[in-house]
Amino acid sequence: MTCPSPTPDASPNTDPVRVHDESTWHQLTVPVGTYLRRALLRHDLSPYTRRTQSLNCDGRGLCATCGVRLGENAPSPTHRPNRLTAQYGSPRLSCQIAVDRPLTVSLRPNKRIWGARVLGAHEDADDSR
C-alpha cells in the first residue's frame, strides 16, 4: 500500500489528515489539537473492532485498542505506551495523538482484538479524546 502525503491545508487552525480504511483514502480536515481518535470517530472511521467499539477506555490510553499506523511524518510519541509501541514498530494509540501537523493514517485492516474492525461505526461519547 502506498501512503501518499497529505496535501497542505490553507487554514492555520486545521491540519489535513489522510486516512486509509482498508480500501479507500479519506481526506479529513481536523482542528489543530484534536485527538486523532476523536477525529476518526467523528468521520465514522473507527480504529476499533466490533467489540472494542463499546469496550474501550474512552481515550485514556489504558486499553490499547485504538491503534493505528502513521505515516513517516508522525509526531514523536509522548505517552509511555506510545513510546514503547513506536520503539517496536507496533501501532500507535490514536487517543494519545493530538493532531498538530498533516498526518497520514492507516486503519489496520487485519486488526483482531476481540473480533474484526468495524467500518462506519461511531460512538456518542462526548469526551475530547
Nearest distance from C-beta of residue 81 to ligand FES, angstroms = 7
30 phi/psi in degrees, rounded to 5: -115, 130
- Distance between CA atoms of residues 20 and 68, nearest Å: 10
Closest CB to ligand FES among residues 11, 60: 60
Distance between CA 118 and CA 96 in Å, rounded? 21
Return the range that interacts with ligand FES (CB under 6 A); candidates 13-21, 51-59, 106-114, 115-123.
51-59
Nearer to ligand FES among residue 28 and residue 36 (C-beta):
36
Using only C-alpha atoms, the chain has a radius of gyration, in whole angstroms, of 13
66 binds ligand FES per the rule CB under 6 A? yes
C-alpha cell at position 55 = 469496550
Which cell is 41 given? 470517530
Determine if 55 is a binding residue for ligand FES (CB under 6 A): no
Q: How many residues bind ligand FES (CB under 6 A)?
A: 13
* 8 Å CB contact between 15 and 100: yes
Shortest spacing between CB 72 and ligand FES, in angstroms: 22
> Checking DSSP bridges between strand 103-106 and strand 14-20, what pairing results, if any?
parallel
The contact mask relative to ligand FES for 87-126 (x = CB under 6 A, - = no) is ------x-x-------------------------------
Interface residues toward ligand FES, by CB under 6 A: 37, 56-57, 59-66, 93, 95
